[in-house]
Amino acid sequence: MKLIDPIIAFHAELQEIRRTIHAHPELCYEEQHTSDLVAQKLTEWDIPVLRDMGVTGVVGIIRRGTGSNAIGLRADMDALPVQELNSFPHKSQHDGKMHACGHDGHTAMLLGAAHYLAKYGRFDGTVYVIFQPAEEGGAGAKRMIEDGLFERCPMQSVYGMHNWPGAPVGTFGVTPGPMMASSNEFKLVIHGKGSHAAQPHKGIDPVMVAVQIAQAWQTIISRNKNPLDAGVLSITQIHAGSTTNVIADEASLIGTVRTFSTAVLDLIEQRMRDIATHTAAAFEAQVSFAFKRNYPPLINHAEQTAFAVGVLRDIVGASNVNATVEPTMGAEDFAFMLQEKPGCYVFIGNGEGEHRDMGHGLGPCNLHNPSYDFNDALLPIGATYWVRLAEAALAAGVKHD
């Protein structure tokens, strides 16, 4: 690997920063300690800071030369409502909160890049280092955009990165087009008519209606959607009744829908609504249907993806860059930024989990797992990628319009 020597020398400090953040996890829009730490470090390194976008968001502005081109590099900062099971010294100090997705490492890697770019950077233009809150369900990217991120920090392109457990350290994965799915929630309430369980003919049983709808909904995936289009409809909760001898008044179905395209999502939502309404009517019941679109699909732009792949191959070698990685049905709110600006989102290998406590947890230190820990070996690798990406884009004058 062609890592940057000053970043390697800075590894110990980056590790300390990362572990400090890990020990003090904060949930979405509560990242005050984290954003204070980020702003403090950027200020120490003579990087101008903006702090009033996305509630707790922080943006550092690194300028060189007279060029008008600019690039955005984004990291997320928030933790998850998970009780940590690890026992190492930097484990969470806050019950019920944990950096179980590696956002502590994402923040540290971008800080490492900012430190180098401010001190040694060779480019002509502006690098915006974006530290975003509330990725875990709070749509912090959207909030920063609504607060004027791209107007106040005009940039031609924007890039993101996420650690990927199970992929070897020193490897990257990316693909043009859909990389992660949209995230959407639904809740269907079936309004029936309660009765004694011994006299079902005097009521309208919402449980039986729920069963019919639940099964019929799966035909949307198997019969309405083009088989070549990805889509997942998962009913994750069914609620009805409170005792054995009473038919309830209501039953509810709750779950998620994930797709790689808005057109498929439109189809699924409409068919869910139609099937629920008409099936319930056939049983003389009524329904209330709510469908919430949380995050859109994350779509990598082809030109920026090819550009990022070229930078990655120069750092870790072509054999360590999977440029057609399999997309995931997980979601990521960086998708909002890619709707506004061209760019690319990559996965950086987090290893098999040998770096953390053994004896508990599932698999290779999986994301959203109480045994998870970010692999500090990634810090100089990710920081080097950010630096080389920014320098290459701005040296080449790539506008990516």
Q: Which domains does the chain have, with CATH numbers?
A: 5-179+297-396 (3.40.630.10), 183-295 (3.30.70.360)
Instruction: Give the mean pLDDT of 197-212.
Output: 97
Contact indicator for 387, 6 with CB cutoff of 8 Å: no
Tell whether the model's pLDDT for residue 36 goes beyond 70: yes
Q: For residue 400, what pLDDT is reported? A: 42
Q: For residue 322, what pLDDT is reported? A: 98
Using pLDDT thresholds of 50, 70 and 90, give the confidence band for residue 336: very high
Using pLDDT thresholds of 50, 70 and 90, give the confidence band for residue 210: very high
Using pLDDT thresholds of 50, 70 and 90, give the confidence band for residue 399: very low
Contact indicator for 88, 357 with CB cutoff of 8 Å: yes
Contact indicator for 113, 10 with CB cutoff of 8 Å: no
Q: Which residues of 320-350 are buried (b: 16+ CB within 10 A; e: fewer)?
A: bbbbebebbbebbbbbbbbeebbbbbbbbbb
User: pLDDT, tens digit, for every residue of 135-169?
Assistant: 999 999 999 999 999 999 999 999 999 999 999 99
Tell whether the model's pLDDT for residue 401 goes beyond 50: no
Instruction: Give the mean pLDDT of 290-304.
Output: 98
3-state helix, strand, coil in the chain (%, to 5): 35, 25, 40
Tell whether the model's pLDDT for residue 355 goes beyond 80: no
Distance CA(233)–CA(298), nearest Å, equals 18
Instruction: Give the mean pLDDT of 102-125.
Output: 98
Q: Which of 84-88, 177-181, 381-385 has the lowest mean pLDDT?
A: 84-88
Q: For residue 353, what pLDDT is reported? A: 79
Counting runs of H as helices and runs of E as strands, what totals does the chain give?
11, 16
**Residue 339: what residue type?**
Q
